[in-house]
């Protein structure tokens, strides 16, 4: 898909939608539909509207104050939820969360298990979907860095653990960084730096936890999993414990 900036520059350079379409080698209707979408979201430079409202919202109204020389001095932009776009976003999130993940195959229990020992692996305040830029914060962080670190750390921790009879995965809050379509804290609505779409964060979190649990089942006879809530995920649906056993009759649900 042609970036918005390229289409905007082509229209500005050629002075018309028809010429811009010819320049970019696309149908005129493609240009018209894109411009219509911009205007619906509040981006119309020819009307001094140069900032789009957030995705999922649409322009409700705008008032601009000009001085005696015609220079813009103040502008008020009002927005409202766009039901059609919000439905699209919600459907995309639901499709990702309902995506069928491959099931783990049944596995044999470890050959040696120390039944009188338990190993607890703690994961807290991981903020999988957070975005951080080193020039601003001193360190980089995104979903790729986070998932790689989680996988490597648990692989190392599990390999160094004794083959205890019980393994406990204690995920005690703030795993995802936020828990809805809007990247805000649920209580105070503080805006968060988010790396990606919520449905992708959910997918990566599920896949990562499944790999970790599968590795724990190779080492421990019984595995307990706790997913607890934190202040960033008060509505987290997984605030409960689960128990799996390594045996030829049990599989990872």
What is the pLDDT at residue 168? 93
Does residue 185 have a pLDDT over 50?
Answer: yes
What is the pLDDT at residue 103? 65
Report pLDDT digits (tens) over 90-124.
Answer: 787 777 766 666 666 666 767 767 888 999 999 99
0.75 surpassed by pTM: no
Cβ within 8 Å of residue 113, ≥6 positions away? 163, 164, 165, 220, 221
**Residue 181 token pair:** 């379509």
Q: Rounded CA gap, 175 and 123, in Å?
A: 8
The residue-averaged pLDDT of 171-198 equals: 81
Residue 16 backbone phi and psi in degrees, to 5: -155, 160
Mean pLDDT of the chain: 80
Share of the chain above pLDDT 90, in %: 16
What is the pLDDT at residue 236? 44
Q: Which CA distances in Å does 162 have to 120, 152, 153, 158, 200?
A: 11, 18, 16, 8, 34
The residue with tokens 């939608």 is 17
Does residue 220 have a pLDDT over 50?
Answer: yes
What is the pLDDT at residue 71? 87
């Amino acid at each position: 898909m042609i970036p918005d900036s390229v289409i905007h520059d082509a229209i500005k350079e050629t002075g018309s939608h028809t010429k811009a379409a010819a320049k970019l080698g696309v149908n005129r209707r493609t240009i018209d539909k894109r411009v219509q979408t911009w205007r619906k979201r509040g981006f119309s430079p020819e009307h001094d509207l140069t900032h789009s409202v957030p995705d999922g919202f649409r322009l409700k109204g705008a008032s601009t104050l000009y001085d005696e020389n015609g220079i813009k001095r103040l502008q008020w932009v009002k927005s409202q939820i766009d039901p059609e776009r919000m439905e699209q976003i919600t459907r995309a999130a639901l499709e990702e969360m309902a995506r069928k993940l491959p099931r783990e195959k049944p596995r044999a229990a470890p050959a040696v298990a120390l039944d009188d020992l338990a190993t607890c692996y703690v994961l807290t305040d991981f903020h999988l979907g957070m975005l951080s830029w080193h020039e601003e914060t001193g360190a980089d962080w995104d979903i790729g860095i986070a998932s790689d670190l989680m996988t490597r750390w648990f692989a190392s921790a599990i390999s160094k653990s004794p083959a205890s009879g019980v393994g406990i995965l204690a995920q005690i809050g703030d795993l995802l960084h936020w828990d809805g379509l809007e990247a805000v804290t649920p209580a105070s609505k503080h805006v968060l730096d988010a790396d990606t779409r919520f449905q992708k964060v959910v997918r990566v979190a599920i896949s990562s936890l499944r790999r970790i649990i599968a590795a724990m089942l190779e080492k421990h006879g019984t595995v307990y999993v706790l997913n607890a809530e934190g202040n960033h995920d008060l509505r987290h649906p997984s605030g409960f414990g689960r128990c799996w056993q390594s045996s030829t009759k049990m599989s990872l649900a």
